Amino acid sequence: MVALALLSVVVMAIYSGWNAIVKGSRVGLDAAAASQRSRISMRTLQDALLSTCMFAQNGKYYGFVADTEGEFASLSFVARLPSTFPRAGRFDGVDVRRLNFTVESVGESKNCLVLRQYPLLLLEPDHVEEEHPLILARDVSKFILEFWDQKSGDWATEWSTTNRLPQMVRITLGLGRLDQYSSQPQELMFGVVALPAIGMGNGAIGGPGGPPIGGPGGVGGIGGQQPPLNGGNKQIPLPRGGAQ
């Protein structure tokens, strides 16, 4: 009986130690996965902004739209993306696409940072992107966008000139919460992206009065006709089924 009691104590000690190791390993793996997802989310945002392109005479399709009202920001713009960008294989070599970054609920997961991509001239709704967007991060507690204002020399929380690109964009992304009663993110990341592109007009190639980029109609032109230039402060709605 004494031997059995001692054996039980030893077995319980071994099991407790093994259980603690398993739980610690699981917590560590979850933390590493969450940290990796957060880095991928920020990297995807930065790579997308670094690929931004703008053709000012075709603001109907190239509008840079940022909605910073509400709890979370949203962003929509056109970029010329590399073949290594996420989901590039779905678009069969169409590297100029509109990107929509929003925070929304996906299934049972709340506050997910999602990315939807559409070809610049989309003829039919892309139901795959609509119903199954790419989830960049889950449990987002903060998503703030700020834009460098050259006039004031400071960061602005709004960008209303949709036919122009900001010089720099500052991103604040928070994931998780310290506890269920706190509004402070468990992990907070910051990133500043200097956009390398500027808006280009009809005479950008060949000097003043030269031919528009891409020949008659310019980039994105249809039938040799240029859509009217979007007004400076007129907002373009965030497209949900491609460029309208």
pLDDT at 34: 64
Residue 1: CB partners within 8 Å, gap ≥ 6?
none
- Between CA 121 and CA 232, with CA 193 as vertex, the angle to 5 degrees is 55
The amino acid occupying position 108 is E
Residue 112 lies in a domain: yes
Largest CA distance in the chain: 102
Residue 123 lies in a domain: yes
Least confident of 38-47, 70-79, 165-174, 205-214: 205-214
* Separation CA 234–CA 237 (nearest Å): 10
- Give the pLDDT mean for 64-84: 92
Share of the chain above pLDDT 90, in %: 33
Residue 231 lies in a domain: no
Range of the domain at 135: 52-204
Residue 3 lies in a domain: no
pTM, 2 dp? 0.69
* Separation CA 48–CA 88 (nearest Å): 12
Number of Cβ within a 10 Å radius of residue 135: 15
Q: In this structure, what DSSP letter does residue 92 have?
A: T
pLDDT at 33: 65
pLDDT at 9: 85
Q: Highest mean pLDDT range out of 44-53, 169-178, 193-202?
A: 44-53
Query: What does the buried/exposed string (b/e) look like for 10-31 if buried means 16 or more CB atoms within 10 Å of the residue's CB?
Result: eeeeeeeeeeeeeeeeeeeeee
C-alpha 185 chain-centroid distance: 19
Residue 217 lies in a domain: no
Residue 148: CB partners within 8 Å, gap ≥ 6?
155, 156, 166, 167, 168, 169, 170
Residue 157 lies in a domain: yes
Residue 59 lies in a domain: yes
- Overall number of domains in the chain: 1
Q: Left (φ > 0), alpha (ψ -120 to 50) or beta: where does 97 sit?
A: beta
Top pLDDT among 34 and 177 is at: 177
Q: Highest mean pLDDT range out of 25-39, 132-146, 204-218, 222-236?
A: 132-146
pLDDT at 191: 92
- Give the pLDDT mean for 52-78: 87
Token duo for residue 139: 């449990």
Task: Say if residue 241's pLDDT is above 50.
Answer: no
Residue 107 lies in a domain: yes
